[in-house]
Amino acid sequence: MALVRCPRCQKMMSTTAASCTQCGYENGPREGLRSVKPRPSSPRRRLHSLSVGSAVPGTPDADRWIRFWANLCGGMLIVGFLCPVILDGLAGSRLIWQWDLMSSMKGDQILGMLLPLLLGVATLAVGNLMGGIRRAVVLSAMAGGAWVLYAVLARAPEMDLAHLSAKTGGAILVLVIMPLSACAIAIGNRIRKRYPAEPMPRTLAGVAGIVLAGCFIIPLGGGRDSYPIIAAFFEKVVWRAAGPIMVVLLALLGYGVLGALSFMRVKDVGSYCRLLSVLARAILWGAPLTLLFTFSMLTDGRGMGMAFTLALKIFFLWYGHMLLVAIGFTSWMEHSLATRTDRSPRASRGPLR
């Protein structure tokens, strides 16, 4: 046993004592003066202490991410507009270009056909020439405005999709809600990689996951023939006729369930976010490939040219519109969170210890 001076009151104390008898210093030195050991923080406190500095490793910064996906989105919309469709017939095959279809349409329909091209060019310009909150606002406005315009055009007598959706038991509406919900999960997952401690991205992905999973149990069709999509998973005939498509639908259901589980707090945020990202990419690439494969099985390979070009055109345009929604609202949310983090008093002190 030896006597040393207490680091707090400078009185003499034993090296074997748990605390100083004069001032109550609890972390008194033992076997000589030693540095005070920090108290271990609970897992809950460590989770709350994450900041943008503790983002998932490998996550690109917001500016680089937005520029890359804006270029990809604009390119897909332009290619989707320019991509022709091969029409197979008894007398041979011929190419149907977009302007061939527009030549027999009216003003509102022409605007709807031209909109992907205009959006593609505008996305490339905004993504590369603007930055900060201006780029976020413009991209978000473009994404929201495009869907509003499509909804207005769909109310025309020639394109009354709302009436068609009512006759089919809401099938058209569900087919719109499902990709938008999947897109919202991707947005929340991307932001969570950058800001693991923020509740907003977890809530966004969780709500969108519930909506996506709920679409599988909504009865579709009319009258006695109405049934939910999930019922098809238990039909052997459906699996034999469209097995690859059913695999993609099953993966989409799993994506919704995993998105709904985003409400939970997990210890390894990086692994969870990467799992969602891998599943999303598998669905994006698997949907057009399985559609073509199923079509080839049903037609014994006949008409593959038309099927390939039509699927290519549809998915370029569809994915382009989905990406525009994703990059628009993601950039806005990222900018808002970054601004709030910079203004937070905690940001100047760094993460909690």
345 contacts: CB under 8 Å, gap ≥ 6: none
What torsion, rounded to 10 degrees, do the Cα atoms 242, 323, 76, 319 define?
10
Question: What's the token pair of residue 337?
Answer: 């969170």
225-229, 267-271, 274-278: least confidently modelled range = 225-229
pLDDT at 158 over 50: no
> Which value, in Å, is the radius of gyration of the alpha carbons in the chain?
28
Q: How far is CA 145 from CA 137, 140, 151, in A?
A: 12, 8, 10
| Separation CA 94–CA 87 (nearest Å) | 5
Highest averaged pLDDT of the listed ranges 21-30, 68-77, 309-318: 68-77
Question: Which ranges constitute the DSSP H helices of the chain?
Answer: 43-48, 62-82, 98-102, 107-129, 132-154, 161-167, 171-194, 199-215, 236-260, 269-299, 304-343, 345-349
CA proximity to 218, closest of 207, 208, 230, 228: 228
Query: What is the average per-residue pLDDT within 200-208?
Result: 91
pLDDT-derived band of residue 259, with 50, 70 and 90 as boundaries? very high
Give me the percent of the chain exceeding a pLDDT of 90. 12
- Given a contact cutoff of 8 angstroms between Cβ atoms, the answer to whether 228 and 238 are in contact is no
Report the alpha-carbon angle 119-120-121, nearest 5: 95
Question: Which ranges constitute the DSSP H helices of 57-106?
Answer: 62-82, 98-102
pLDDT of res. 50: 35
pTM: 0.69
pLDDT of res. 28: 42
pLDDT at 117 over 80: yes
pLDDT of res. 122: 92
pLDDT tens digit sequence for 33-63: 444 444 444 444 333 333 344 556 656 677 7
pLDDT-derived band of residue 334, with 50, 70 and 90 as boundaries? confident
- Given a contact cutoff of 8 angstroms between Cβ atoms, the answer to whether 195 and 182 are in contact is no
Q: To the nearest whole number, what is the mean pLDDT of the chain?
A: 76
Q: How far is CA 209 from CA 64, 75, 118, 242, in A?
A: 27, 29, 31, 25
Highest averaged pLDDT of the listed ranges 159-173, 209-223, 328-342: 209-223
pLDDT of res. 47: 35
Query: What is the average per-residue pLDDT within 181-190?
Result: 89
Higher pLDDT, 217 or 13: 217
pLDDT at 239 over 80: yes
| Separation CA 285–CA 245 (nearest Å) | 12
For the chain, the domains span 60-338
pLDDT-derived band of residue 238, with 50, 70 and 90 as boundaries? confident
